[in-house]
Amino acid sequence: MKKIEELKQIVKSKGLKYTKQREVIFETILKYNNHLSAEDIYNILNKEYPNMNIGIATIYRALAFLEEVNLISSIAINKDGKKFESNDKKHHDHLVCIKCNKIIEFVDEDIEQKQKQIANNFGFKLLDHTMYLYGICENCQ
């Protein structure tokens, strides 16, 4: 997988030891293609790789590393939780439910265009943006 190769290169360029745990954690985020918390990843890995004995602390460390090297992004869901997604996904924005922590992804061309226009008005060359709209989902109201 191309992304796993990228991880290998990054680890090598930093002179770090390549660990299978880190690879499996990154692979899980790529494979599930949605927003996962450290606990979600912990539960998935313990089901799929019961022999690897990957602890929650290892997962937190790996997630911090993957985010630092820009392979994944996190979003703060509440005061003690984050959810992570791959940076490889197609651009999208987010609606976040503060009650059940569900994340809905959307793309709206009008919003995309408007942002470019605003950046333009300020003489900015827009490179990227991240949008999270916080609220309460239909099910939780």
- Work out the end-to-end distance of the chain between its first and last CA atoms, rounded to an integer number of angstroms: 41
Residues 50 to 89: which contact Zn ion by CB under 5 A?
A: 85
Shortest approach of Zn ion to residue 125 CB, angstroms? 24
* 78 three-state secondary structure: strand
What DSSP character marks residue 139? G
> Which of 100, 104, 111, 118 lies at the binding interface for Zn ion (CB under 5 A)?
100
Q: Would you say 29 or 97 has its CB closer to Zn ion?
A: 97
Asked if 99 is part of the footprint of Zn ion (rule: CB under 5 A), the reply reads yes
What is the rounded CA–CA span in Å between residue 77 and residue 99? 10
Q: Would you say 54 or 96 has its CB closer to Zn ion?
A: 96
Nearest to 48 by CA among 77, 74, 24, 80: 24
Residue with tokens 């494979």: 31
Stretch that binds Zn ion, among 3-11, 46-54, 66-74, 98-106 (CB under 5 A): 98-106
Shortest approach of Zn ion to residue 99 CB, angstroms? 5
